[in-house]
């Protein structure tokens, strides 16, 4: 008989936790209707149907708000790749499979309601947006053979990061309709984060050493799921400069709340592997904190210079 892999054993050991959290999720997730969040009365035909082509003057959004909304939307657009990734890691069976499909169904509405909002309000260039969507989906998202514990740690951080990114983009957009829509999407992301966070918590009890290793690897190597978007580095820099998502937010509002929830630095009896991973994590966090402070100082200096010059 072939040996049972660590991931296969963990899938089995974690299944009762998945069942319990799927039930909790289904009870907590309120039904909502994406069409209720889109101001359809603002919509009109584009050029090929006898209307006007898009023009930047038509957008009520600032260039940075446009960039942030576009990055969030293109990230959501890559759902087929994310579905493939979690189906590979979690499988299609029983509670795991039920979660994979439920999660995919919930994620499915995020891209189309944000796109509907942007098209109806003429918030972004629809031609550029469509070309970028084609590009992102053809590039896809590939986590290769990432083991189960690493996938669980990554999606915990990623769901929280997308929650904060949607919520802060909504606030920044200065449009109450965009804010309401993105707050609703952020509520979905929050419930997803809670689901994965609880699985990591259970994994820490079952296998503390390997789970701490996975958490450390995913914090150290973290990349936003949209990092394959063309011009992502430049766009992320604009988003950080505007304070929508920056290193300080990443450190204070994404990484640390989860590490605290999991009690990462309080757990006892984590073995040599766990201690080693935790040491590396602590060192990395010290560096990240310093880097976040440097970025904030640079930004403040730049803002002060701009204010003095204007
Ligand atoms: Fe989403
Ligand atoms: Fe999500």
* 218 CA distance to ligand 2 middle (Å): 17
Q: What is the pLDDT of residues 281-307, one digit of tens each?
A: 999 999 999 999 999 999 999 999 989
Q: What is the pLDDT of residue 144?
A: 85
CA distance linking residue 132 with residue 9, whole number of Å: 40
Mean pLDDT of 164-185: 97
* pTM score: 0.96
Q: Which pLDDT band, with edges at 50, 70 and 90, does 1 fall under?
A: very low
Residues of the chain with pLDDT > 70, as a percent, come to 98
CA angle 232, 104, 144 (to 5 degrees): 55
Cα 141 → chain centroid: 13
Q: Say how many Å lie between the CA of residue 76 and the centre of ligand 1.
A: 5
Q: Ligand 2 centre and the CA of 160: distance in Å? A: 8
Q: From ligand 2's centre to the CA of 42, what distance in Å?
A: 28
Distance (angstroms) between ligand 1 centre and the Cα of 224 equals: 13
What are the pLDDT digits (tens) for 134-152? 999 999 998 888 999 999 9
Considering every ligand atom, which ligand is closest to the CA of 159? 2
Residues less than 5 Å from ion ligand 2, measured at CB:
159, 189, 192
Q: Separation of 184 CA from ligand 2 center, angstroms?
A: 12
Is the Cβ–Cβ distance between 179 and 170 less than 8 Å? yes
Q: Which ligand lies nearest the alpha carbon of 108?
A: 1
Return the structure tokens found at 58: 């038509």
- Nearest ligand to the C-alpha of residue 103? 2
Q: Which residues contact 235 (CB under 8 A, 6 or more apart)?
A: 67, 70, 71, 229
- pLDDT, tens digit, 9 for 90 and up, residues 212-263: 999 999 999 999 989 989 999 999 999 999 999 999 999 999 999 999 999 9
Q: How far is the CA of 166 from the centre of ligand 2 (A)?
A: 11
Question: How many Å lie between the centroid of ligand 2 and the Cα of residue 302?
Answer: 34
The pair of three-digit structure tokens given for residue 270, joined into one six-digit string: 């984590």
> Ligand 2: distance of its center to the CA of 108 in Å?
10
pLDDT in tens, 80-108: 999 999 999 999 999 999 999 999 999 99
- pLDDT score for 3: 55
Rounded to the nearest integer, the mean pLDDT of the chain is 96
CB 252 within 8 A of CB 190: no
Output the CA angle 211-189-74, nearest 5 degrees. Answer: 105
Cα(100) to centroid(ligand 2), Å: 11
Asked if residue 132 has pLDDT above 90, the reply is: yes
pLDDT one-digit tens code per residue, 23-69: 999 999 999 999 999 999 999 999 999 999 999 999 999 999 999 99
Mean pLDDT of 156-167: 98
37 C-alpha to ligand 2 centroid (Å): 18
């Amino acid at each position: 008989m072939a040996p049972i892999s660590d991931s296969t054993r963990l899938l089995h050991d974690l299944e009762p936790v998945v069942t319990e959290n799927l039930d909790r999720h289904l009870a907590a997730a309120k039904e909502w209707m994406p069409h209720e969040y889109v101001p359809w009365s603002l919509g009109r035909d584009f050029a090929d149907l006898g209307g006007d082509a898009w023009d930047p003057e038509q957008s009520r959004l600032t260039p940075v708000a446009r960039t942030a909304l576009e990055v969030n939307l293109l990230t959501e657009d890559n759902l087929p790749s994310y579905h493939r990734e979690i189906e590979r890691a979690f499988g299609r069976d029983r509670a795991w499979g039920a979660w994979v499909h439920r999660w995919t169904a919930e994620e499915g509405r995020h891209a189309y309601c944000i796109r509907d909002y942007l098209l109806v309000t003429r918030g972004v260039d629809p031609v550029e947006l469509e070309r970028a969507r084609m590009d992102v989906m053809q590039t896809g998202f590939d986590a290769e053979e990432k083991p189960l514990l690493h996938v669980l740690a990554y999606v915990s951080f990623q769901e929280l990061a997308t929650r904060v990114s949607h919520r802060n983009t909504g606030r920044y957009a200065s449009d109450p309709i965009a804010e309401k829509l993105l707050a609703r999407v952020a509520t979905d992301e929050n419930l997803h984060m809670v689901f994965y966070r609880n699985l990591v918590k259970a994994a820490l009890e079952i296998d503390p050493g390997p789970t701490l290793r996975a958490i450390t690897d995913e914090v150290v190597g973290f990349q936003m799921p949209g990092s394959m978007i063309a011009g992502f580095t430049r766009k992320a820099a604009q988003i950080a400069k505007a304070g929508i998502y920056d290193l300080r937010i990443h450190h204070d509002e994404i990484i640390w709340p989860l590490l605290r929830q999991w009690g990462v630095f309080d757990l006892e009896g984590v073995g040599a592997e766990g201690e080693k991973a935790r040491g590396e994590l602590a060192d990395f966090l010290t560096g990240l904190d310093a880097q976040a402070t440097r970025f904030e100082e640079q930004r403040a200096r730049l803002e002060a210079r701009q204010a003095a010059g204007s």
